[in-house]
Structure 1
C-alpha cells in the first residue's frame, strides 16, 4: 500500500483486518464477489483510506492469483497422472469463491472431477463427500487414495471414508504429527513426489512412512 502513501505499520494492520474478515466470510450471497470483497477492503481501510478500496482490491486479486498459480512441474505431473489415473479435486468452501479460484487456475484442465462443498450438503472430513467423488469418478473407495495438506479434513476424511490410502503434504508450519492427529499412511515433502509414490514402492527418497513413528510423522 506504500504505492498509495500508506505507511508500513498501517498497511500491515489494514491487511490483517481484511484477511481476518475475508477468511471468516469469503463471499456473501447478497453480493457478487467483487462487490463483497471491495466492501471488506473499504471497512478495513477505514474512513481515511476507504476511497482506495477498489484499487487495493484489484491489486490484491492480481497478486492472489499470481502467487497461487500451479507450477509448471505440478501441471506436468497432473498431465502425466491423468494418462493412467482418474483424478478428483474436493474443495471446502463457499461455492462462488471456490469456483472463482478453480476457474482462474484452469483446474478443470487437470482434474476429471471437481467438487466444492458449498454446492453440496457435506464438506471434508464427512465421508459422504469422498463417496460422491468416488461415484463421479466411477471407482470404489478402496481403489482411491486421498492426497491433501490438512490433517483434520483431508487425511481424517480419507481415513473415515475407508480409502485405500492417505498421503499428507504438509505446506504450513506444522510438519510433524502429534499423538492426537489423524495418522496419514504416508508423508511427502513435495507434491511432485507423488509420482514416486504411485510408480514405485513407497521407499523412494524423501517419502516418509508416517506409520513407522506416529509421534512425529517420520
Structure 2
C-alpha cells in the first residue's frame, strides 16, 4: 500500500454507521419495544409504532448530551414523553423505564464490529496511524467501544462528549492531530455524516474525506472527495489517492 508515497500518515474513522451498524441495532431495539407495548400493554400497531417514531426523533434531538446529564435518566424521560404524546396521558408507573431497559439491552446486544472490518483495520494499521473520532455522550459511546473492543485497533480514541466541542468543530480535529503527532494534510477522514465528518474534515484541512453513503443519499452541503457504499472500499480508495 503506497502510504508514504501519497503522504498520508493517519486515518480518522467515525464509529456509528461507519464501522458498526448502529442504525440496524437501534431498529432491532425499537421492534422489541413495539412488541412489548403490543403484547404486554395492549397497544395497537399504529400507536406502538408512533411511540417508537417519537422516541427516535427525540433521541436524535438529544444526541449531544451534556456531560452533567445522566443518560439513563434522560432517555427514560424521552420514552415517557413519547408515550404521553402518543396516548395523551402519563404512562403507567414503570412503563417508560421498562421500555428503555428493553431498548438499551437489545441495542447493545446487536452492536458489533464485523470480522471483515476488523481485518481491514488491522491491515491499515500496518501502514497508518488510526484514530477513532466519534460524537455523542461519553457514557453511551464508551459502552459501544468496550463491547466492540475497539481499543486494540486504534492508536487513539476521541469521543466528542468528553470535550468542549464535537465534530465538525475545528478544535476536536486539532486534538486528533495533536494526539497522533501529524499535520492535517497528512490525514484522511472516513465517516457517514456529511455535516459532521465530511464538513469537519474539509474545514480542518484534511488531505481527503471519504463519505460512507450506503443508502444513496444526495450530497447536500459538504462535498466529499470520495463516496463509497461500504467502509471496506476504503482500502481501494487509499491506494489511488
TM-score range (shorter-chain normalised) is: 0.7 to 0.9
Does the aligned pair in 2 maintain the 1:94–1:118 contact within 8 Å? yes
- Could you say which residue in structure 1 is the equivalent of 2:39? 3
- Could you say which residue in structure 2 is the equivalent of 1:197? 237
Tell me: higher relative CO, structure 1 or 2? Use CA pairs within 8 A at least 6 residues apart.
Answer: 2
Residue correspondence of structure 1 range 172-183 to structure 2 within 5 A? 172=215, 174=217, 176-178=218-220, 181-183=221-223
Structure 1 SS opposite 2:129 = coil
Deviations along 1:170-200, one digit per CA (max 9) or x if unpaired, are: 14551x335xx322111112111111222x3
Change (3 A) 1:70 1:3: farther
Q: Distance in 2 between matches of 1:126 and 1:36?
A: 25
Q: Find the partner of 1:40 among 78, 90, 95.
A: 78
Change (3 A) 1:28 1:49: farther
Q: Find the partner of 1:21 among 58, 62, 65.
A: 58
Change (3 A) 1:29 1:84: closer
Return structure 1 stretches of 4+ with deviation > 4 angstroms.
Answer: 26-31
- Could you say which residue in structure 2 is the equivalent of 1:117? 160
Structure 2 SS opposite 1:168 = strand
Unpaired runs of 5+ residues, structure 1, are: 203-218
Does the aligned pair in 2 maintain the 1:146–1:155 contact within 8 Å? yes
Q: Quick check: 28-37 or 60-69, which moved more? A: 28-37
Q: TM-score, normalised by structure 1?
A: 0.79
Does the aligned pair in 1 maintain the 2:215–2:229 contact within 8 Å? no
- Could you say which residue in structure 2 is the equivalent of 1:214? none
Does the aligned pair in 1 maintain the 2:168–2:196 contact within 8 Å? yes
Q: TM-score, normalised by structure 2?
A: 0.72
Residue correspondence of structure 1 range 71-86 to structure 2 within 5 A? 71-86=114-129
- Could you say which residue in structure 2 is the equivalent of 1:94? 137
Measure how far apart 1:145 and its partner are: 0.6
Measure how far apart 1:70 and its partner are: 1.7
Unpaired runs of 5+ residues, structure 2, are: 1-35, 85-89
Root-mean-square deviation (CA), in Å?
Answer: 2.3
